[in-house]
Amino acid sequence: MSNVICIGNKNVVMPYSAVGFDIEVVDDPEGARQAVDRAIRDGYSLIFVQEDYYSHISDLIEKTMEVAVPVISAIPGPMGASGGAFENLREIIKKAIGADIF
């Protein structure tokens, strides 16, 4: 088992299995929510979630921001990046260092 998991639709996550990451194929926001919750319980250190589903798990992201691991980050969906993940990363960095560096 890898310590990294990628969660999203098949076309998005399959390439990550080629580099040894665990994957979980989901087709909707609720499936992504359940997969992220399982990944947290299973002890993954890094959880990548397809950006299309990222906003639907904001409460899980907030819960994990209080601890060092796991880190939940977004990966672009089939239509490319929307910028939402960048804004979330910006907020994480602001909280961590107390300044907006972007």
pTM: 0.79
Percent of the chain at pLDDT exceeding 70: 76
What pLDDT shows up at residue 6? 95
Domains, the chain, ordered by start = 4-97 (3.40.50.10580)
Q: 51 or 82, which is more confident?
A: 51
**What is the structure's pLDDT at 43?**
93
Residues sharing a CB contact under 8 Å with residue 40, sequence separation 6 or more, in sequence order: 47, 60, 63, 64, 70
Burial of 27 from C-beta contacts in 10 A (0-12 / 13-18 / 19+): exposed
